[in-house]
DNA sequence: CAAGCCCATATTGTCGACAAACTATGCTGG
DNA sequence: CCAGCATAGTTTGTCGACAATATGGGCTTG
């Protein structure tokens, strides 16, 4: 009895993916009131699967719903966005620690290779934000799965990352930051390669802390208006 | 335009609550394969709202679903259960720290009064596990909301607690532990009352760490079979 | 002229039936 | 006697229509 994992993709899954990417990419902006019929015609779906997808999105915190009053894309206040980074800080710290204890040598090697690829991408793009964002996402993704902590990875990859990515396009990093971030990534991987979980956790927390302070600064400068 | 919060409870919400409590209370045991029609007749619902509730429960990790093959209550392995406590440790630690910074004096006073009530409950019940469990839940609930970190509270109260409570009835604390746990609670509240966030975080992490080690010991003893 | 109420409309919540897919039983062949 | 396959049955996924409710505009009234 092989676990063939039939993996038949259902309409609801399709709807879920469509909506999630639409929200993350900004096609559905925060605060938008979205009607079910609009969405149906937009993604060529029927209301049944759509509603199921909406329920899932709501449960993940990307949508807010009021009975009989429609569904809106969640709109984070500045303080909520900052709080999100505090959560990321500790959770990714734990992920880094456990990754240092559990990643295979092969995975670590792949991770280092990934960083090399990121470096060339950044050089070619002259520090453009987009590639940095993708590379950053890739890096944190690998750490999360490498922790072998299923629930932790699920929470990071399923909940937090999508919310952060929602606001990513407004959080363009300042010039020169890509290189510095890459350096921080390298030091984290070094710690992991040396199986030093404590150091990996410390460096990861500081890495995300820097990002949080960067955002807080921009908010105080009034550059970032949400 | 007062925000009257119409709060009309929909059938889907009803279904969601019913299922969640049924899972937590153990009426639906981990690993059970549950048919939609069974559930409909059981809770007197129709399949539409039920499916929406199932989607939400799946998204929260309490159910696993395979297309066309039914839905089962999630069954945690021992390692997954332990990993859950590692996540709780850091998240509740953060909650305690932020609660120390942000709870109102009134909330802190209420929290202390709650602990007094717990003490009498434990004495009356001669350390019976059930009251301890309820009191423990209440305590951690207040800390989470007191952190004023919406997302953090949402993750703790919405996701983690229900998974932990699912296995609570098997995790009966050893004799005498209720009193010790209460003592730990008191010290945490003391730290919060003194607005010492760092200490509150430390004590909370140690508190949950103790619970985790307790479980690990029981698993190694073979007492706890999941 | 402003504020509050009432009603029409459009949207959401709910229901029952149809179609597609997996599971299990029985049969055939080696 | 066991293994593999085909088929029947049950369960899930999907669809369209009906009912309930919040929003917004117009009206009345102070």
Query: Of the spans A19-33, A98-112, B4-18, B28-42, which averages the highest pLDDT?
Result: A98-112
- pLDDT, residue B171, reads 67
Query: From A95, which residue of chain B is nearest by alpha-carbon distance?
Result: B87
- pLDDT for the residue numbered B91: 98
Closest CA of chain B from A223, distance in Å: 24
The pLDDT of residue B8 is above 70: yes
Q: What is the pLDDT of residue A226?
A: 60
Q: Which residues of A touch B (CB under 8 A)?
A: 6-10, 12, 48, 51-53, 55-56, 58-61, 66-69, 80, 83-84, 86-87, 90-91, 93-94, 98, 149-152, 154-155, 159, 163
- CA-based nearest residue to A79, from B150, B138, B30: B150
Sign for the CA dihedral angle at A190, A194, A195, A196 comes to: negative
Average pLDDT for B187-212: 97
Residue B166: pLDDT over 60:
yes
Which residues of A are less than 8 Å from B51 in CB distance? Answer: 52
Helices (H) and strands (E) in chain A, counts: 10, 3
CA B63 to chain A, closest CA, distance in angstroms equals 13
B49 sits within 7 Å of strand C by its CB: yes
Spatial contact of A159 and A61, defined as CB atoms under 8 Å apart: yes
The C1' atom of C30 and the CA atom of A197 lie apart, in whole Å, by 59
| Phi, psi for A37 (deg, rounded to 5) | -65, -40
Q: What confidence score (pLDDT) does residue B220 get?
A: 85
- Total-model pTM: 0.90
Q: What is the pLDDT of residue A2?
A: 38
How many CB atoms within 10 Å of residue A6? 9
Q: How far is CA B123 from CA A17, B61, B120, B207, B211, in A?
A: 52, 36, 5, 21, 21
pLDDT value, residue B203: 98
The minimum CA-CA distance between A109 and chain B, rounded to whole Å, is: 25
Give yes or no for CB of A35 within 7 Å of strand C: yes
Instruction: Name the one residue in this structure whose structure tokens are 């606001």.
Output: A167
Rounded CA Rg of chain B: 19
Mean of pLDDT values over B152-176? 81
What is the per-residue pLDDT for B4?
Answer: 47
Chain B hits for A90, Cβ within 8 Å? 90-91, 93-94
Q: How far is the CA of B48 from the C1' of D18 (A)?
A: 14
Nearest to B32 by CA among B166, B133, B224, B170: B166
CA of A57 to C1' of D24 (A): 28
What pLDDT is recorded for position B7?
A: 60
What's the rounded Cα separation, in Å, for the pair B109 and B15? 36
Taking CA A52 as the corner, what is the angle to CA A46 and CA A54, rounded to the nearest 5 degrees?
95
- How many Å apart are A33 CA and C2 C1'? 30
Provide, in whole angstroms, the distance separating residue A54's CA from nucleotide D23's C1': 21
Residue A47: nearest nucleotide (C-alpha to C1'): D15
Q: What is the predicted pLDDT for the residue at A120?
A: 86
Cβ–Cβ under 8 Å, residues A111 and B173: no
List chain A residues with CB under 8 Å of B80.
150-151
Q: Answer for B11: CB within 7 Å of strand C.
A: yes
Specify the pLDDT at position A143: 98
- Nucleic strand C near CB of residue B178 (< 7 Å): no
Place of tokens 């010290």: B187
- Residue in B55, B67, B158 nearest the CB of A56: B55
pLDDT tens, residue order, chain A (226 aa) = 334 445 578 899 999 999 999 998 889 989 889 999 999 999 999 999 999 999 999 999 999 999 998 899 999 989 999 999 999 999 999 999 999 999 999 999 999 999 998 888 877 776 566 667 777 889 999 999 999 999 999 999 988 999 988 887 666 666 567 788 899 999 999 999 999 999 999 999 999 999 999 889 888 877 666 6
B47 CB neighbours strand D below 7 A: yes
- Whether A217 sits with its Cβ under 7 A from any strand D atom: the answer reads no
Q: How far, in whole angstroms, is CA B38 from its chain's centroid?
A: 27
SS (H, E, C) chain B: CCCCCCCCCCHHHHHHHHHHHHHHHCCCCCCCEECHHHHHHHHCCCHHHHHHHHHHHHHCCCEEEECCCEEEECCCCHHHHHHHHHHHHHHHHHHHHHHHHHCCHHHHHHHHHHHHHHHHHHHHCCCCHHHHHHHHHHHHHHHHHHCCCHHHHHHHHHHHHHHHHHCHHHCCCCCCHHHHHHHHHHHHHHHHHCCCHHHHHHHHHHHHHHHHHHHHHHHHHCCCCC
pLDDT of residue A132: 72
pLDDT more than 90, % of chain B = 62
**Rg (alpha carbons) of chain A, rounded to whole number:** 19
How far B60 CA sits from the closest chain A CA (Å)? 7
Q: A102-106, B63-67, B179-183, B206-210: which has the minimum mean pLDDT?
A: B179-183
E strand or H helix that includes residue A64? strand A63-66
Residues 6 or more apart whose CB falls under 8 angstroms from that of B193 comprise B108, B112
Each as own residue / partner, the long-range contacts of residues B19-22 (CB below 8 Å, 24 or more positions apart, any chain) are B19/B43, B19/B53, B19/B54, B19/B57, B20/B57, B20/B62, B20/B162
Looking up tokens 């990321």 gives A88
Mean pLDDT of chain B: 88
Most confident of A167-171, B48-52, B202-206, B216-220: B202-206
CA distance B27 to B9: 23
- Residue B98 is predicted with a pLDDT of 98
CB pairs under 8 A between A and B: 93
Sign of the CA dihedral running A60, A61, A64, A65: positive
The Cα A138–Cα B212 span in angstroms is: 32
Band of pLDDT at residue B116, cut at 50, 70 and 90? very high
Residue B43 C-alpha from the chain's centroid = 24
For B185-211, what is the mean pLDDT? 97
What are the beta bridge partners of residue B63? B73
Q: What pLDDT is attached to residue B85? A: 96
Model pLDDT, residue A221: 79
């Amino acid at each position: 009895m092989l676990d063939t994992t039939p993996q038949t993709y259902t309409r609801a899954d399709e709807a879920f993916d469509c909506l999630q990417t639409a929200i993350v990419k900004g096609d559905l902006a925060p605060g938008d009131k979205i009607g079910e019929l609009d969405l149906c015609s937009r993604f060529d779906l029927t209301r049944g699967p759509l509603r199921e997808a909406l329920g899932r999105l709501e449960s993940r915190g990307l949508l807010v719903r009021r009975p009989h009053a429609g569904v809106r894309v969640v709109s984070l206040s500045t303080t909520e966005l900052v709080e999100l980074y505090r959560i990321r800080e500790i959770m990714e710290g734990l992920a880094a620690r456990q990754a240092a204890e559990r990643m295979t040598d092969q995975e670590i090697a792949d991770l280092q290779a990934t960083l090399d690829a990121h470096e060339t991408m950044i050089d070619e793009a002259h520090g453009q934000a987009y590639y940095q964002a993708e590379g950053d996402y890739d890096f944190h993704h690998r750490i999360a799965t490498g922790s072998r902590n299923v629930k932790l990875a699920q929470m990071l990859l399923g909940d937090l990352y999508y919310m952060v990515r929602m606001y990513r396009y407004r959080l363009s990093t300042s010039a020169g930051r890509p290189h510095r971030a890459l350096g921080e990534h390298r030091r984290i991987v070094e710690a992991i390669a040396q199986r030093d979980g404590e150091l990996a956790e410390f460096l990861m927390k500081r890495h995300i802390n820097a990002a949080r302070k960067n955002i807080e600064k921009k908010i105080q400068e009034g550059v970032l208006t949400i």
